[in-house]
Amino acid sequence: MFLKRLEITGFKSFADRTELEFVPGITAVVGPNGSGKSNISDAIRWVLGEQSAKSLRGAKMEDIIFSGSDGRKPVNYCEVSLTLDNADQKLKMDFSEVTVTRRVYRSGDSEYSINRQSCRLRDIVELFMDTGVGKEAYSVIGQGRIEEILSTRSEDRRVLFEEAAGIVKYKARKKEAVKKLDETEQNLVRVQDIMSEIA
């Protein structure tokens, strides 16, 4: 699986639709300070489901929408599409190419899609779980992240190894199952209370 294409419209400094094609191997993005290099990795993390404006270097989510410049009006929405080559079927989908898209409007409304089919954020997060590509995974390492990884608590570092080992999906499912069990237990207690009141 490799990153094939990134399409950015209205995201941060990319007012116009911009398409970046990647080929297997190493790609370097070079440019002067402030020209938008980091905005590219922000766009990748955002389309993969990043929900924190702070980690996208903004104060609120609206800050990722192009806010205008000399002679250019602000835009009302931004959209990012990330296309991955899936010939090796690492992503559990029967397609040799997978495109995930996220769009957000100034009103705060968000839309997500996988291969142009509308979906939930949860579907995108689950698709990338244990592949190393998710927003918290190790395939996109932003400025300062390496230092953070090295200095962080061992319990936090463990998350990266769990992703690489492919067990994040199972941990997430276990968490959901335990939550459901808890809710069921509470319901049982309530039912017992009602039954003892009636008896």
Residues 26-65 that bind ligand ATP (CB under 6 A): 31, 33-39, 63, 65
Contacts (Cβ under 8 Å, ≥6 apart) of 10? 65, 66, 75, 76, 77, 78, 79
Is the four-CA dihedral 5, 10, 109, 135 of positive or negative sign?
positive
144 annotated to bind ligand: no
Choose between 64 and 91: whose C-beta lies nearer to ligand ATP: 64
Choose between 11 and 128: whose C-beta lies nearer to ligand ATP: 11
71 lines the binding site for ligand ATP (CB under 6 A): no
Contact 188, 196 (CB under 8 A): no
Choose between 50 and 163: whose C-beta lies nearer to ligand ATP: 50
66 lines the binding site for ligand ATP (CB under 6 A): yes
12 lines the binding site for ligand ATP (CB under 6 A): yes
The residue behind tokens 């790609």 is 27
Half-sphere exposure (CA, 13 Å, Cβ side) for 15?
Answer: 9
118 annotated to bind ligand: no
Strand partners, 97: 85
99 lines the binding site for ligand ATP (CB under 6 A): no
How far does Cα 7 stand from its chain's mean position? 15
32 annotated to bind ligand: yes
34 annotated to bind ligand: yes
Site size toward ligand ATP (CB under 6 A) is 14
Strand partners, 114: 100, 117
Residue among 144, 79, 145 at smallest CA distance from 112: 79
Rounded to a whole number of angstroms, the minimum distance from the CB of residue 72 to ligand ATP is 9
Say how many Å lie between the first and final Cα of the chain, rounded.
63
Rounded to a whole number of angstroms, the minimum distance from the CB of residue 179 to ligand ATP is 37
Interacting residues toward ligand ATP by CB under 6 A? 12-13, 31, 33-39, 63, 65-67
Annotated binding site for ATP: 32-39
